[in-house]
Structure 1
Amino acid sequence: MPRFHLSPLNIGEGPRRFLYDKLPSHSGESQSPLPQTTQFFKSWKQRNPWSNRIQRPRMSFARVVTLVIAAFLLFAMLGTGIYKRHIRLSHRGKGEERKLYHWEHYDKLHGFFNGIRDLVAYRDWVPEQNVIDMSSSPNPEDNIKPKKPAPLNDKKEPPMDPIVFNPYPYASEEYLKHHDKVETCYLDEDNKIETPDIYAYPGIPQNMTAPFFGSYEELGLREDVCFERFGRFGPYGYSYSREEGGLGMSAKSEAAGSEKIWSTEKKVDWRHMDWGKAQKRCYEKNKVRFHKNETETKDSENAKKKVPRHAYILRTWTGYKYSDYQLLTIRAMINELSLKSGGEYDVHFLLHVKDDSIPIWSSEEIYQKTIRDNLPEEFWGMATLWSEQQMKMYYPEPFPNNVYNHAKAPVHSVYRSAHFAMQWFAQVHNEYDFYWNWEMDLRFSGHYYEFHNSIGEWAKKQPRKGMWERATRYYIPSLHGSWHNFTEMIEEETFNSDEKPVWGPPKFEHSGMLDPPKEVEPPQSYLQDNYDWGVGEEADLITFNPIFDPAKTNWVFRDDVSGYDLDLPEPPRRCAIITVSRLSRRLLDIMHRETYIMKHHMFPEMWPPTVAFHHGLKAVYAPHPVYFQNNWPLEAIDGTFNHPHKPTDSVFGWGEHNQLGNSFYYNAAFSAQWWRRWLGSRENDEGGTEHELNGSGRLCIRPTLFHPVKYEKGAE
């Protein structure tokens, strides 16, 4: 969702400025003196016949020479300016560098692009940031840092074999002690075609770059493996022919060692797959895991723990083009989240019908035709349609007292109210406990179930004390140390600040609010709590970027607030950039009621965090690993991202250019480049098949969330 138009594709052009509103023009009968003056000269011309004659003033020779010289100098100056501008533009077109951002002066990192021939065991891995070039480092302290170059591997084969990556706990004795058995799900109705596995390498390329933000260990993700494209996407059709039911996309790729996955894996013919039916069969086989029956209700002591269900919602729209790479990604989502989990997740397409004139709600035939025209056939049974016209009826206007509509768009436009469709979906599909709001330009290199399940379990363990304050900060393990140290640091910062910590629903002046749930009132005071309250409680909101106070920044949509009394101060707000998140049914239900009962509304990235904030719900920012293309000094990255000197410096405002060089933000330019390099593409005259063949092989990267990826290509 664009804001400042700092497009990753236009990074070389520099940042564009805001488009300020023009002053309103006069309408109706103008009070300006200009029409009166014009009418005066018109009537004067009619009265004075001499007015139409050309008057030639008498001029002395000296005066004429002066005018000629002045005119010559004026034209010379204009010509020089035009010429210099032409030269400047032509040089820029020939590669003249623009003025660099401050972070672009830091050295570029290259360990992202180390390949599978450089694999080492995790215990032997040394991050690129820790490798010191002694020839250029006069600092004696650098001598104590580990220095291990990437191993020299003259062989084309990787030094280790890939392994099946299985993050599911279902076979363990501990799981079966407390939960019902998971019944195996299959791809076909006859229960003959098994769901495929994916493969990882049990190591990391030596000197692979370490992430600056987030932690694999803290979230409970395996940090000792990496994924390359054959093991990750091969089982979904990447590496075998269309005649065999695959997609045949790997013909020009470097492929050393890739054939080893087929020694244990069977190729699946995906040509006639119906994922919608497969998901429904899987749920029916396992529904005892999610709902208590009468026997279990009576015998509560011996009852098994029931597992929450998740709706995994892909936000798409009519006209969206699904590439073969997109098919691989979606197949991976459904297989790993839904079928292999025994139905814990259902993947849905929430498809925005952009043409409001299509009567999708009055004709089943038109409804199904719209799906067939806008989704690949294997996903037809997974779509739910919606339109802005429908939202106008579901949440009718007015939404009064808007503070400032910076987008200059109607309140029901998807740009300003993407959450309307999510709220409506949760009302229609209230059988789920959680709803993941997922965008089509997200990519993930690891295993979907491991990532989502680990984040949910991590959020469940988080205490409420300091919750909102921690969520405002990026976690930098190399600087902050352990999560425990980070938590104590935030508490100390809060204590030394002028602001009171958030503890329960905030008190603020308003003219009408829904009452928060009774269970969110703190059981004891902030000082009495020993980080106990909230531990074991499911999070109502999980975001993937910090949850900040927009009033403290110059984020452009901070005042897109409607329905509150304009005679009172604006209500306190919270925001998380990118709408990607996990929302509880409780949160979505309150959002829904705040919208249709109270007529409250805010910009989409501000609305869920603010409702959670106002109603005392549990909200956390998950510190997933985020990589940076440049080697920022730790103090500089902490100061820039966590402690800006003034609002205009915020990385959630005019300082968003600081996000361009990382792997996850709405305008992160490096993200898509790195993802395409992993697929085998040549980017910016670097990488590609020849480079991989002559270098360390194809890329192998740790589980990483990429955004945005607007297009994909591989080896050519």
Structure 2
Amino acid sequence: MSPFDINPRKLFVRTRFGYEKLPGADSQSSSPLFGTPLIKSWKNRSPWANQQWRRPRLSLPRIIMLMITTLLLASMLGTGMYRRHRWNEEQRKKGERKLYHWEHFPRLDGYYNGIRSIVPFSDWVPEQKFIKNALSGNPEDKLEPKYPVLSKEHKEPPLDPVPFNPYPDYSTYEYLNKHDKVETCYLDKDDKVDLPDIYAYPGIPQNMSEPFFGSYEELGLNEKVCFDRFGRFGPYGYSYPREEGGLGMSGKSESWGADKIWSWEKKIDYSKVSWADAQRKCYEKNKVRFDKNMTEANKDVPAKKKLPRHAYILRTWTGYKYSDYQILTIRAMINELALKSGGEYDVHFLLHVKDDSIPIWASEEIYNKTIEDNLPKEFWGMATLWSEQQMKSYYPEPFPNNVYNHAKAPVHSVYRSAHFSLQWFAQRWPEYDFYWNWEMDLRFSGHYYEFNTKVGEWAKNQPRKGMWERASRYYIPELHGSWKNFTELVEEETFNSDEKPVWGPPKFENTGMLPTLDEVKPPRSYLQDNYEWGVGEDADLITFNPIFDPAKTNWVFRDDVTGYDLELPEPPRRCAIITVSRLSKRLLDIMHRETYLMKHHMFPEMWPPSVAFHHGLKAVYAPHAVYFDHNWPLETLDGTFNRPPKPTDSVFGWGEHNQLGSSFYYNAAFSSAWWRRWLGSVENEEGGTAAEEAGTGRLCMRPTLFHPVKFERGAE
């Protein structure tokens, strides 16, 4: 029977994925002391077994001793059995836990529908919508989703992959009329090795689940395609052997139709690539596009529009192990962000040297040796080293008046001041307009340039009115409707609340603050503004989780505030969990001055949003797609994440368990499990090559940002 001659419900493969490994039997349970005794024949063990044996004569004392011994053994056996029963009962009770409320919601399994179930976007029915309509009592609501008609023998996807190109057409008159010419970049010094493309399928697996938070359409991302592991990573060496310059990782993978990308693509020998050289050369060829000081030679010709430059900073450390999957991800970043854009981005490694005794500032030889020992060779030349000892000199003590140091760690420890090195980096490399703070356990299934560029453009078009209030909430399109409707809803909620909307830099009691900039002062009153102020202004801060007020939650680090007058109320604060963000040079410069001049300091996830808040800068939360593995009722989702009944229920505090089933949060467990399934691995006894080949094939994902992914594995 074909996998497509089935009831659509059967596409929803039930998963046993669990977030907490429940305590099982103790290791002692396999011990002979607690396990079933191994009874062997005395006859087979005795050296006298084959000799003639005489029954001993039983005298009265011997009978009494035998009875006493039997009673003792029976008593010991009974006591042992009782104690074991009690121990097993205690372990069983320890293993039991009360399920979280969201674990009672139905599982969503459309995430695991494969490439053989791909349909054009116009035919796609999200899993949630199908379930909702299937349960509806109205016959008119019934849906009969279209499925590809494939036989058992025909295993290839119904659609072919196509090159995915999100870049402007640099050759058109429209582009060249406004911008300088883009010089093509290459991977080698002789300009002979072309940059690879990546490939997407022009459709979505039927009944694939849709995101609960965020919107592809709102951010301007292509919502009609999906990426499999071959199209996404194949051109970076995933699917060909090391003898040919690849990584040879796909040997055991389900691969029907995967070779079609080689009709267009050439295999690259990455063992010969120096990404630092390629990146530098690309910028040199294109620097006229960014240099705002360069003027046209012909004064009669209007000046071309200069583009901003971005530093894409990977936060790594000595001893970090770079898996082959990590290398694929980094190659994708450099190629898609820096090289194919004609130098709009530079990818950097900001490498934390954990051993403070290494004098990285005193010896070029030691500096380079540290890089070579802690970074794959193809990325040498892209790292900037720093250490906590170095930051102690750059931002010297004292940092007085701490409210509460919950971490019990020094202020210069990376745990409490990861932003120190980022601020220093922006002073060390001041030529960039924006700095992306990127963590090593982030993954993205789509195209980096499309995502980063569209997020930046979306943020630039956001008005300041209602900005902080919108940023504090999750956008649920299925519930809130359009972004315009969401904007109006937030304004209405703000109007009906006791809170005063944020409009420019807030006023609060303090004994010393840096002056605010003139350009951040509102040009008109809040009521007079018709969502005009801020439109066309680049955001100083873009976060990927909501920017909330930690004082209204029981978030554990909310009071790690230093340098402000303890006789006055704590300053107002804002926070975004996970330090992943885009920061402007303007914001980083203010953070730097606040640190070294004013000795102000906060926990890393509070510091950039709070400085932006205090100084009236533009800060937004980008509503990227976030998925959940349970089918939350939308009103419950909104009530839990956007308006908890009391502070202790906040999802940024004791209510963080609500984030476990999501694809993006600091403790999201579903994130890494889904990512590894996409790579072809077996997770919780499900998935893997055999399951993919017997079912609808390997997974194909829409562009999704994952965090955290602490380890990776593929088909085994």
Decide: shared fold, TM above 0.5.
yes
Contact 2:552 / 2:647 at 8 angstroms: preserved in 1? yes
Where does the alignment leave 5 or more consecutive residues of structure 1 unmatched?
1-7, 15-77
Cα shift at 1:89? 4.6
1:380-413 superposed Cα distances (whole Å, 9 cap, x missing partner): 1100000000000000011100000000000000
Give secondary structure in 2 for the equivalent of 1:296. Answer: coil
Contact 1:161 / 1:201 at 8 angstroms: preserved in 2? yes
Structure 1 residues 300 and 578, CA, compared in 2 at 3 Å: closer, same or farther? farther
Aligned residues: 642
Contact 2:133 / 2:143 at 8 angstroms: preserved in 1? no
Structure 1 residues 108 and 695, CA, compared in 2 at 3 Å: closer, same or farther? same
CA–CA distance in 2 between the matches of 1:225 and 1:499? 42
- Map 1:181-200 → 2, pairs under 5 A: 181-200=181-200
CA–CA distance in 2 between the matches of 1:360 and 1:345? 26
- Which amino acid letter does the alignment assign opposite residue 484 of structure 1? K
Structure 1 residues 597 and 300, CA, compared in 2 at 3 Å: closer, same or farther? farther
Question: 1:339 matched to which residue of 2?
Answer: 339
1:407-459 superposed Cα distances (whole Å, 9 cap, x missing partner): 00000000000000000000010000000000000000000000000000000
Question: 2:548 matched to which residue of 1?
Answer: 548
Question: 2:507 matched to which residue of 1?
Answer: 507
Cα shift at 1:630? 0.2
Structure 1 residues 600 and 80, CA, compared in 2 at 3 Å: closer, same or farther? farther
1:516 aligns to 2:513 (yes or no): no
CA–CA distance in 1 between the matches of 2:285 and 2:643? 51
Where does the alignment leave 5 or more consecutive residues of structure 2 unmatched?
1-16, 24-78
Q: TM-score, normalised by structure 1?
A: 0.87
- Map 1:415-434 → 2, pairs under 5 A: 415-434=415-434
Structure 1 residues 524 and 145, CA, compared in 2 at 3 Å: closer, same or farther? farther
Contact 2:133 / 2:142 at 8 angstroms: preserved in 1? no
Contact 1:426 / 1:585 at 8 angstroms: preserved in 2? yes
Cα shift at 1:147? 3.8
Structure 1 residues 634 and 297, CA, compared in 2 at 3 Å: closer, same or farther? farther
- Map 1:30-49 → 2, pairs under 5 A: none
- Which amino acid letter does the alignment assign opposite residue 156 of structure 1? K
Give secondary structure in 1 for the equivalent of 2:572. Answer: coil
Give secondary structure in 2 for the equivalent of 1:311. Answer: strand
1:357 aligns to 2:357 (yes or no): yes
1:680-704 superposed Cα distances (whole Å, 9 cap, x missing partner): 0000000000000000000000000
Question: 1:688 matched to which residue of 2?
Answer: 688
Contact 1:297 / 1:303 at 8 angstroms: preserved in 2? no
CA–CA distance in 2 between the matches of 1:663 and 1:274? 33
- Which amino acid letter does the alignment assign opposite residue 422 of structure 1? L
Question: 2:106 matched to which residue of 1?
Answer: 107
CA–CA distance in 1 between the matches of 2:192 and 2:602? 50
CA–CA distance in 2 between the matches of 1:123 and 1:507? 51
- Map 1:261-272 → 2, pairs under 5 A: 261-272=261-272
Cα shift at 1:85? 5.9
- Map 1:431-446 → 2, pairs under 5 A: 431-446=431-446
- Which amino acid letter does the alignment assign opposite residue 102 of structure 2? W
Contact 2:197 / 2:235 at 8 angstroms: preserved in 1? yes
Match of 1:11 among 20, 25, 35: 20
Question: 1:37 matched to which residue of 2?
Answer: none
1:216-265 superposed Cα distances (whole Å, 9 cap, x missing partner): 00000000000000000000000001000000000000000011000110
- Map 1:182-221 → 2, pairs under 5 A: 182-221=182-221
Cα shift at 1:10? 6.2
Contact 2:444 / 2:706 at 8 angstroms: preserved in 1? yes
CA–CA distance in 2 between the matches of 1:710 and 1:182? 38
- Map 1:179-578 → 2, pairs under 5 A: 179-296=179-296, 299=299, 302-578=302-578
CA–CA distance in 2 between the matches of 1:454 and 1:684? 35
Contact 1:678 / 1:698 at 8 angstroms: preserved in 2? yes
CA–CA distance in 1 between the matches of 2:171 and 2:96? 58
Structure 1 residues 597 and 344, CA, compared in 2 at 3 Å: closer, same or farther? same
Cα shift at 1:174? 2.7
Question: 1:91 matched to which residue of 2?
Answer: 92
Cα shift at 1:84? 6.9
* Alpha-carbon RMSD: 1.9
Give secondary structure in 1 for the equivalent of 2:438. Answer: strand
Give secondary structure in 1 for the equivalent of 2:272. Answer: coil
CA–CA distance in 1 between the matches of 2:693 and 2:202? 22
Cα shift at 1:338? 0.2
Give secondary structure in 1 for the equivalent of 2:20. Answer: helix
1:600 aligns to 2:609 (yes or no): no
Cα shift at 1:148? 1.4
- Which amino acid letter does the alignment assign opposite residue 614 of structure 2? H
Give secondary structure in 2 for the equivalent of 1:424. Answer: helix
Contact 1:541 / 1:619 at 8 angstroms: preserved in 2? yes
Contact 2:410 / 2:416 at 8 angstroms: preserved in 1? yes
Contact 1:309 / 1:345 at 8 angstroms: preserved in 2? yes
Contact 2:178 / 2:305 at 8 angstroms: preserved in 1? yes
Question: 1:122 matched to which residue of 2?
Answer: 121
1:106-127 superposed Cα distances (whole Å, 9 cap, x missing partner): 0000000110000100000000
- Which amino acid letter does the alignment assign opposite residue 137 of structure 2? P
Contact 2:471 / 2:620 at 8 angstroms: preserved in 1? yes
